[in-house]
Amino acid sequence: MKGKPFWLIILVLLTAARGSAQSAYLNDTVTEVLIGKKLEVYKPKQNESLDQVMKASFESAGNAIPNLGVNDHDVWARFSLSNPGTNANHLLKVANATFDEVCLYATHNGMLTDSILISKTHRFSDRKFKDPNYIFDLDIPTGQTNTYYLRIRSKMPVILPVYTTQPQQQLTEVAWEYLFSGAYIGVVIIMAVYNFFLFLSIRDKAYLYYVSYVLFVGLTQIGLKGFNYQFLWPDAPWFENISVVLFACISGISAIFFTIGFLEVRKHFRKLYFMLLFLAVLFFIALVVVFFDANRAFVIMQSATTLSSVGLFLTACYVVWKQPSVSSARFFLVAWTVLIAGSLVFILKDFSILPYNMATTYSMQMASAIEMALLSFGLANRINILKKEKEQSRLAALRIAKENSRIIKEQNIVLEQKVKKRTEELESKNLEIATTLADLQQAQMQLVEAEKMASLGQLTAGIAHEINNPINFVTGNIGPLKRDVDILLQIIQLQDQLNTSNISDQDRIEATNRFKEEQDFDYLKMEIGHLLKGINEGASRTAEIVKSLRIFSRLDEAELKLADINEGLESTIVIVNNLLGHIKVTKHYGNLPLVHCYPGKLNQVFLNIISNALFAINERFGEAPGGELTVSTRCTDDQVYITISDNGTGMTEDTRRKVFDPFFTTKDVGQGTGLGMSIAFNTIQKHNGSISVTSTLGAGSAFHLQIPVNAIETSGATNS
């Protein structure tokens, strides 16, 4: 205090004595002074105004760096500053960028003279001093003492490193902070980029988790210094309020999964694996909660960080103890030990056990950088181990390959002998199979021919019966007609004799009339007419039957042609007329176009279905009346639909499913081959159509056929 007026010193002392706080003196020669021991603190149970706080009782902070812990409400600090010098241009620095809001109130003689608010709810660009810490102007005239109140709001622990400094010194401090933080960021980027390229090369997820851990730990550490808000998102205060907790949670999750993959915890230590998953869940809960309640999320994150730090350290110790030969685990243990040591230094600094200086302030960043480097060395060592294991595997595979080659050569000789023997056996079996196949094909041809012969026999019987009736009618009328013709010839002969005789005309007429009366000439004329009519009807019926037979048989069936489906059905009914008996036939023919088809093959299908229907009706009714066969046709668009139904015995569901199977029949032995419906199914398939059956046991069956009008192209049909 040399060179100062005595009255000035007395004035400063008197001013300081009136304040309740112990005064700190600004000094023009000392550039930065830590005033923590001059602070008095007050922690209200609720947020209070300045007037209320000025009346409250403050307690001495006691430490150079007061640590007031986590608080739900505002925390207040009070101090007095006296300026005995000539320089009024001083600064107050609160060197903790984690605070959400700091407000400085300046009072003189108990009256508020000024207030400055710096808050993370405002944009960073609004700050007067572009520094992540909280910097305030101190404008204290020479010889004056002011009392100041600091209001701090924070979701993180309130640690108060408070300095008085000068602008030039502040620029120097900022330069050093930029230097240390820039070096740390450089380490983070180098480690992240290097190991990311290793991940792209090796595809080991442990490298990806490491990269995520490094990046988000770096963002967390730089965020604690406030540089993220200053440089990355200065216009997004809402994100700044959650960013540190958000990045810390992501880095914690990444660290846990990196540990699981790096130390192969899941593979070898199942209990540790589930413990680490529990810690990851805690981080994840905090990660979700931070978007709703940042303060509560910080508490959860802080607890998870403490537990995971201890948990990961103990996990590394356990793995090293159980697997001492695994060098990568030792790298991990040393790296985590360094990080914990740096954290302890940082914490001890906050409790004033260690001095508050650049080394202790940046102990976390330095320990984190060393940890990143050691973990990176561990990953590199892991690559060497993998290469060594791969080389050993390659050599082992080579030995196995040589042994396999020897075994293969020996086995090839044995296999060649077995293959030769087996080939001979297969050739013998193939010959047997070929012979059996030929026999089966021959048998199939015989069965198909048998089915055709059965149909032919049925056709022949029907035709014989149908032609027999009109032929018998003709032959039965020929005898009486011959007799009547002979009588006519006698009349003509008598007339010739009378014409050559010398009797009179009257006598000739009388003789002729007497002969006509004797022969009943009028009845003779009527009888001859009836006989000729009967012969004509018999001949016409025979011609109709022959026509139906020609339509049904279609000797040109190998060729495609346009055919009338109704005509084919009608000819088929004529063929089976002898089987109808008392069975009633109902026909509902629609107006159908000509269909491009094989007419003879379709007629064979109709015959098979109608024959089976008549068989089913006879099985149910016998010779009694009541049986009915219904045939209907219709056309829709380019499809022709045919339904042939009966009221016969019907089928069971099992029979209905098997009705189109080859050789399946419900008839007695000798009554059917079981190929009729199979042939019908294949014929309809050949026409690109479909056939199905519905049936009710005891009530009858109905076959439904669908045939496209132009489904078969001429070229395709020729090939088939």
In whole angstroms, give the CA distance from residue 720 to residue 717. Answer: 5
What pLDDT, on the 0 to 100 scale, is given for residue 330?
81
What is the 3 state secondary structure string of 245-260? HHHHHHHHHHHHHHHH
| Crossing angle between the packed helical segments 505-519 and 521-553, to the nearest 10 degrees | 50
Q: How many CB atoms lie within 10 A of CB 516?
A: 15
Q: Residue 118 pLDDT > 90, yes or no?
A: yes
pLDDT at 646 > cutoff 90:
yes
The CATH number for 6-165, chosen from 2.60.40.2380, 1.10.340.30, 3.40.190.80, 3.10.129.10, is 2.60.40.2380
In this predicted structure, the answer to whether residue 6 has a pLDDT above a threshold of 60 is no
**Is residue 3 scored above 70 in pLDDT?**
no
Among the residue ranges 170-179, 313-322, 447-456, the one predicted with the least confidence is 447-456
- As a whole number, mean pLDDT of residues 332-359 equals 76
Q: What per-residue confidence (pLDDT) applies to 281?
A: 93
Higher pLDDT, 577 or 551: 577
pLDDT at 126 over 70: yes
Could you tell me which of 95, 170, 93, 106 has the C-alpha nearest to residue 141?
106
Per-residue pLDDT reduced to its tens digit, 665-679: 766 544 555 667 888
% of the chain at pLDDT higher than 70? 81
Report residue 704 as tokens. 């439904």
Give the chain's mean pLDDT: 79
Contacts of 665 (CB under 8 A, 6+ apart): 671, 672, 673, 674
pLDDT band at 9 (very low <50, low <70, confident <90, very high): very low
- Give the length of the chain: 720
Instruction: Give the lowest-confidence range in 372-381, 452-461, 483-492, 522-531.
Output: 452-461
Instruction: Say whether pLDDT at 24 is over 60.
Output: yes
The whole-number pLDDT of residue 278 equals 92
Predicted confidence (pLDDT) per residue in 37-88, tens digit: 889 999 998 989 999 999 999 998 878 888 888 888 899 999 999 888 778 7
CA dist 612 and 622 (Å) reads 14
Give the confidence band of 102 by pLDDT, cuts at 50, 70, 90.
very high
Task: Give the pLDDT mean for 127-137.
Answer: 89
What is the pLDDT, as a whole number, of residue 510?
A: 76
Structural tokens at position 309: 């730090």
Question: In 113-137, which positions are buried (b, 16+ CB within 10 angstroms) versus exposed (e)?
Answer: eeeeebebeeebeebebebbbbbbb
**2.40.50, 3.10.150, 1.20.1070, 2.40.10: CATH of 176-389:** 1.20.1070
- Name the one residue in this structure whose structure tokens are 């005033």: 35
Could you tell me if 50 and 103 are in contact, meaning their C-beta atoms sit under 8 angstroms apart? no
Contacts by residues 446-453 (CB-CB < 8 Å, ≥ 24 positions apart): 447/663, 447/673, 447/675, 448/675, 448/679, 450/673, 450/675, 451/673, 451/675, 451/676, 451/679
pLDDT at 694: 92
| Torsion sign over Cα 190, 194, 197, 202 | negative
Lowest mean pLDDT among 75-89, 221-235, 325-339, 511-525: 511-525
| pLDDT number for residue 643 | 95
Mean pLDDT of 272-285: 91
Contact 691, 704 (CB under 8 A): yes
- Topology of the domain comprising 554-719: Heat Shock Protein 90 (3.30.565)
32-34 vs 162-165, strand pairing mode: antiparallel
535 within 8 A of 474, measured Cβ to Cβ: yes
Lowest mean pLDDT among 55-69, 152-166, 329-343, 481-495: 481-495
Q: Quick one: pLDDT band at residue 200, thresholds 50, 70, 90?
A: confident
Reported as a pLDDT band with limits 50, 70 and 90, residue 457 is low
Q: Which residues of 440-477 are buried (b: 16+ CB within 10 A; e: fewer)?
A: eeeeeeeeeeebeebbeebbeebbeebbeebbebbeeb
Taking residues 686-710, what's their average pLDDT? 91
Q: Would the pLDDT of 556 be above 60? A: no
DSSP code, position 135: E
pLDDT-wise least confident of 23-37, 234-248, 546-560:
546-560
State residue 107's pLDDT score: 92
CB atoms under 10 Å from CB of 658, counted, come to 15
**pLDDT attached to residue 454:** 58
Flag whether pLDDT at 179 surpasses 90: no
How far separated are the first and last CA of the chain, in Å rounded? 125
The identity of residue 161, as a single letter, is P
As a whole number of angstroms, the distance between CA 354 and CA 377 comes to 31
The per-residue DSSP string of 576-645 comes to THHHHTT-EEEEE---PPPEEE-HHHHHHHHHHHHHHHHHHHHHHHTTSS--EEEEEEEEETTEEEEEEE
At residue 247, the pLDDT reads: 92
Same fold, 176-389 and 554-719: no
Range 446-467 average pLDDT: 59
Is pLDDT of 551 > 80?
A: no
pLDDT band at 2 (very low <50, low <70, confident <90, very high): very low
Mean pLDDT of the 294-308 span: 88
Task: For residues 331 and 319, give the distance between their C-alpha atoms in angstroms, rounded to a whole number.
Answer: 12
Q: What value does the mean pLDDT take over residues 494-512?
A: 74
Statement: residue 4 has pLDDT above 70:
no
- CA atoms of 294 and 506, how far apart (whole Å): 153
Torsion angle, alpha carbons of 61, 65, 71, 76, to 10: 50
Domain range summary for the chain, segments of one domain joined by +: 6-165, 176-389, 554-719
At residue 106, the pLDDT reads: 92
